[in-house]
A and B are shown apart, each in its own frame.
Chain A
């Protein structure tokens, strides 16, 4: 029997900007077991929610994560609105959907750059982040911030975008999409990338289901579940189908995200074309959240769940967020079993981990 050695991976590792720690038990170069440990950036969000005004918490929820910032605030506001029984005006719903899809594109392009960097493709990394910069400029133009949108509030959105700007953005994203397609084709057809991803980090459909994989990780294993199908925001009125791949390897997970970027460009164009006129917020005067509710949304990394309990006071009684990366850590440990040590960074990045989200 060969010697067993334990190699620590993280919490500070060149390919991962965030602190996740894996203890890799190796037999020669093969990973026999991976033990994850998290808890390096815990911020105590749940206790914070019990002490702060529920309206102010929308700002805190947006800061759970810098990459999926808008969808966190959208999820928080949507769940509180569910507790209060508020009906958000259609224009606000469409604006939220548009911003959520812009946020998804910038998140996937960020991941695209990081995964290219993990392969050693630094030029691809820089090209993808150059495209992402144009998306971030759109965010700044419409919302005012580059990372934190600050546009979502309980009862609607804080800022309106005039139709002329929307039309201009609609034309601009088509140009960005053409640029992005060139890069995606390079990623898909490159021999080195295929060699390092095809058939590596396998997650079979039954295991994906049993281990509770969510988002692109589950969809790459043939599970056709997308949280946007649950019928929140404007998604039921838009024409789209969840992106599903059958292979279940690292390449399939990359392919799902690459195709989802194109899908998000389409969804933004549809939102702009069907943008209704009217109010962007409803008054919440005299209303307080009361009861218990569970909200589910689709983030770039998968399904996020919000649990809330309130008793009509100005602060929530209980607030808990289950983030997608937390659900995807168990499938990651399964994927790492039996892989080569050199493939660990690429497999880890193929689930697109967001540790700040996970630890809240």
Chain B
């Protein structure tokens, strides 16, 4: 049993002399990676309200209105899949590496004014196969 004791004590010594594996979080923050998916940013000046981003969004988080010239995203629905960033032809949707801070009460109130929930997608017709009465 000498080998495990040796390796355990070697590991303990190494860990004791090593700098901590964790950070002092609020004072020391980790720099995000270049690809980290933080949140979606939008520049409204370049937008032509084509609506491709809203069409491609898998969770229907984006709502555009060509007549009223509005664009809104529900950050609570967004899954950061990057489909809108890839599909935007004008390049006005970008991805920020910094995660979005939780919405405060004022943000929620403003968001509710700006954002109109999209109509629910039409239900798909599913053909029900009738049950065979002879089957067990």
Contacts and interface: CB of A to CB of B under 8 A. Distances in A.
Interface of A: 50-51, 53, 55-56, 59, 127, 130, 133, 140-145, 148, 150, 158-159, 182-183, 185-186, 189-191, 315
Given A51-B124, A59-B58, A150-B82, A142 B4 contact: no
Given A51-B124, A59-B81, A189 B4 contact: yes
A142 B35 contact: yes
Interface in B52-89: 58-59, 79-82, 86
A341 B71 CA distance: 59
Nearest to B95: A144
Nearest to A190: B4
Contacts of B135: none
Given A141-B33, A148-B79, A189-B1, 16 more contacts: A51-B124, A51-B126, A55-B58, A59-B58, A59-B79, A127-B11, A140-B35, A141-B35, A142-B35, A144-B35, A144-B82, A150-B82, A182-B7, A185-B3, A189-B3, A191-B4
Interface string B1-41: 10110011001000100000100000000000101110000
A141 B37 CA distance: 10
A156 to B, nearest CB: 13
A150 B4 contact: no
Contact of A50 (B1, B36, B126): B126
- Secondary structure at the A interface, as helix, strand, loop or mixed, is helix
Contact of A140 (B4, B11, B33, B81): B33
Nearest to A129: B21
Contact of A144 (B11, B37, B126): B37
A138 to B, nearest CB: 10
A315 B123 CA distance: 12
For the complex of A and B, list the 8 residue pairs with the smallest distance between their C-beta atoms, beginning with the closest.
Answer: A56-B58, A144-B35, A189-B4, A144-B37, A141-B33, A130-B21, A51-B124, A59-B58
B79 A144 contact: no
A186 B89 CA distance: 55
6 contacts: A59-B81, A130-B21, A140-B33, A140-B36, A150-B81, A185-B3
